[in-house]
């Protein structure tokens, strides 16, 4: 048996009013990849924050043994000195600095009074080669895609002489091939003796890469599964996470699909800054009443951009094409127009573009349709409260009162508030962009139920998602998008992951634009 590198014993961490961790135990052996899984809010990140010293010694109970000795970390510098490096879900890179500068930020090469730039960039390049990047370390961070930025984060950790690497949701913003590259990199490091802990929602990735899986639920360790000994299948892991078997991850619905209610013909949109770059390329499609329509594709395929350009030209320049709704040609020039014509776009970035975190649930719920609770510009605050409570009950949002700030809610409940906001605007067509990103299995199921409820009321839902099982489980019809074009259409029954992937790959070959470097995924304003 290998040596135990890290042992966390009986860790208990209390926040005012909540016990976030309750007697958690974790044992990681040298040279293994250990996965931590659990629903959102289960306490995974809290545990890692205890380990890395973000919550300093004394603010929690229990003991941490690392490399045979007990550790009292008071900040992240302490833990990094020992070789424990954590890479957070939100990337911590400065966009207008070079890769090299970022890599050695807080760990500068040379002396305090003179940074050794040759060393910085020389070493920088070495570490970049290790993680499989061919960029120069003098490239600015803003000029490389998210996938590569994630690799830079890992290179940065290596530059700190990491012995124990902790990755918090490393693939949440990566596409499939980038994710695969990252996971393979982890396996390569493992061979070289590195120990890693990975936190992830993507169970297929976890079972691919991990030697052991520790399941955390409601602040307690439930079990640790060992590769080769225990069952590593997704249903088995999910059972541990939610404490019950989800036999059906997608709720059943009987579709009542009506006539075509919206049609888009030859839709084009260009990048707002680089006006020669076509982001949406001659897209045509239709949506029927009561239908859940899926749009599949890799990140950067132009799905979000398509949706936002349809939504009152909220994205893009030189937009052309025809948008027909209920037999009428619409010319939507602002978000206000789109809402008036009963089209809603529910953003993928709920914190950045969707919700006002410092405001109450109540105010967020009515923001897109304040007219619905006001007369001649005067808000009826009782009515507003009433509406908020109604939607809270309808969507089963978990919160003490609707006066609570949205910022204090968990991801799943925030997503529900965001949905409530757009449901209250009473649209016919809802475009849901990654509606279940970053939320746990239980909350996902509830979101699916809400979608079913919406289409049963005769509304249409366009669902953009990077999770193929979700599209396959939910959609009546799926369009496949690649490099700004629609490259295929599949009915719900005939669609499989393999078919979609092959369409995307074939589409890529046809378009023959494999220039991933220039893909600025975050180009959406």
Return the number of the residue (401 or 502) whose C-beta is nearest other proteins: 401
Q: CB 339 → other proteins: shortest distance, Å?
A: 4
The enclosing H or E element of 132 equals none
**Interface residue with other proteins, options 354, 427, 484, 488 (CB under 8 A):** 354
Q: What residue has token string 């605007």?
A: 425
Pick the stretch among 167-175, 296-304, 371-379, 467-475 that binds other proteins (CB under 8 A): 371-379
84-87 and 477-482 beta bridge pairing: unpaired
Binding mask 107-146 for other proteins (x = CB under 8 A): ----------------------------------------
Return the number of the residue (125 or 414) whose C-beta is nearest other proteins: 414
Return the number of the residue (183 or 409) whose C-beta is nearest other proteins: 409
Contact 515, 508 (CB under 8 A): no
Report d(CA 108, CA 226) in Å as an integer: 40
Return the number of the residue (222 or 521) whose C-beta is nearest other proteins: 521
What are the φ/ψ torsions at residue 168 (nearest 5 degrees)? Answer: -95, 110
Q: 396: how many CB neighbours lie within 10 A of its CB?
A: 12
Q: Is residue 371 within the footprint of other proteins (CB under 8 A)?
A: yes
Return the number of the residue (99 or 402) whose C-beta is nearest other proteins: 402
Q: Is residue 341 within the footprint of other proteins (CB under 8 A)?
A: no
Q: Is residue 352 within the footprint of other proteins (CB under 8 A)?
A: yes
Return the number of the residue (76 or 282) whose C-beta is nearest other proteins: 76
- Give bridge partners of residue 469 from the DSSP assignment: none
Pick the stretch among 107-115, 139-147, 275-283, 374-382 that binds other proteins (CB under 8 A): 374-382
374-375 and 33-37 beta bridge pairing: unpaired
**Interface residue with other proteins, options 63, 268, 353, 410 (CB under 8 A):** 353
- Give bridge partners of residue 111 from the DSSP assignment: 114
260-270 and 278-288 beta bridge pairing: antiparallel
Q: What residue has token string 């888009």?
A: 264
Report d(CA 522, CA 525) in Å as an integer: 8
C-alpha distances (whole Å) from 12 to each of 47, 50, 380, 486 are: 9, 10, 46, 51
Q: CB 349 → other proteins: shortest distance, Å?
A: 8
Interacting positions 293-312 with other proteins (CB under 8 A): 311-312
33-37 and 84-87 beta bridge pairing: unpaired
Binding mask 29-58 for other proteins (x = CB under 8 A): -------------------------x----
* 3-state SS, residue 144: coil
Q: Is residue 181 within the footprint of other proteins (CB under 8 A)?
A: no
Q: Is residue 363 within the footprint of other proteins (CB under 8 A)?
A: yes
| Of the candidates 355, 304, 299, the residue with the CA atom closest to the CA atom of residue 482 | 299
Return the number of the residue (357 or 511) whose C-beta is nearest other proteins: 357
Here the tokens at position 389 are 């409570």
| Of the candidates 326, 354, 321, the residue with the CA atom closest to the CA atom of residue 432 | 354
**Interface residue with other proteins, options 385, 391, 448, 486 (CB under 8 A):** 385
Q: Is residue 316 within the footprint of other proteins (CB under 8 A)?
A: no
Summarize as ranges the residues that interact with other proteins (CB under 8 A): 16, 54, 75-76, 311-312, 314, 334-336, 338-339, 345, 347, 352-359, 363, 367-368, 370-371, 374, 377-379, 381-382, 385-386, 401, 403, 421, 525
């Amino acid at each position: 048996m290998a040596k135990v590198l890290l042992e966390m014993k009986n860790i208990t961490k209390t926040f005012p009013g909540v016990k976030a961790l309750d007697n958690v135990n974790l044992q990681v052996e040298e040279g293994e990849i250990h996965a931590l899984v659990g629903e959102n809010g289960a306490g995974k990140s809290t545990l890692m924050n205890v380990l890395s010293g973000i919550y300093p010694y004394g603010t929690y109970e229990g003991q941490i043994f690392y490399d045979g000795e007990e550790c009292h970390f008071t900040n992240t510098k302490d833990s990094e000195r020992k070789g424990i490096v954590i890479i957070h879900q939100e990337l911590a890179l400065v966009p207008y600095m070079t890769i090299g500068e970022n890599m050695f930020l807080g760990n500068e090469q040379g002396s305090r009074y003179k940074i050794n730039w040759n060393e910085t960039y020389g070493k920088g390049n070495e570490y970049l080669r290790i993680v499989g990047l061919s960029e120069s370390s003098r490239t600015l961070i803003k000029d490389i895609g998210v996938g590569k930025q994630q690799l830079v984060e890992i290179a940065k950790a290596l530059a700190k002489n990491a012995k124990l690497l902790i990755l918090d949701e490393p693939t949440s913003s990566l596409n499939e091939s980038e994710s695969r590259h990252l996971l393979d990199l982890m396996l390569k490091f493992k061979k070289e003796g590195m120990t890693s802990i990975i936190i992830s929602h993507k169970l297929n990735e976890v079972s691919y890469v991990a030697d052991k899986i520790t399941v955390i639920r409601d602040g307690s360790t439930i079990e640790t599964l060992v590769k080769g000994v225990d069952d590593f299948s997704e249903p088995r892991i999910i059972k541990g996470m939610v404490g019950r078997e989800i036999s059906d991850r997608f709720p059943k619905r009987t579709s009542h699909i009506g006539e075509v209610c919206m049609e888009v013909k030859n839709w084009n949109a260009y990048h707002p800054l680089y006006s020669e770059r076509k982001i949406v390329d001659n897209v045509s499609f239709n949506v029927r009443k009561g239908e859940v329509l899926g749009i599949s594709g890799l990140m950067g395929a132009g799905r979000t951009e398509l949706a936002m350009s349809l939504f009152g030209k909220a994205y893009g320049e030189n937009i052309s094409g025809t948008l027909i709704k209920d037999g009428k040609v619409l010319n939507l020039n602002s978000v206000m127009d789109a809402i008036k014509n009963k089209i809603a776009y529910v953003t993928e970035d709920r914190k950045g573009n969707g919700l006002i975190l410092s405001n109450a649930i109540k105010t967020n719920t009515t923001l897109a349709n304040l007219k619905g609770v006001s007369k001649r510009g005067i808000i009826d605050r009782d009515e507003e409260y009433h509406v908020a409570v109604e939607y809270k009950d309808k969507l089963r949002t978990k919160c003490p009162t609707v006066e609570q700030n949205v910022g204090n809610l968990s991801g799943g409940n925030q997503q529900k508030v965001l949905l409530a906001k757009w449901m209250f605007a009473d649209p016919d067509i809802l475009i849901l962009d990654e509606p279940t990103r970053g939320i746990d299995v239980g909350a996902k199921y509830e979101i699916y139920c809400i979608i079913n409820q919406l289409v049963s009321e005769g509304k249409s839902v366009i669902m953009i998602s990077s999770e193929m099982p979700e599209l396959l489980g939910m959609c009546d019809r799926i369009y496949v998008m690649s490099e700004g074009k629609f490259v295929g259409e599949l009915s719900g029954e005939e669609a499989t992951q393999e078919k979609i992937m092959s369409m995307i790959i074939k589409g890529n070959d046809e378009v023959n634009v494999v220039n991933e470097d220039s893909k600025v995924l975050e180009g959406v304003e």
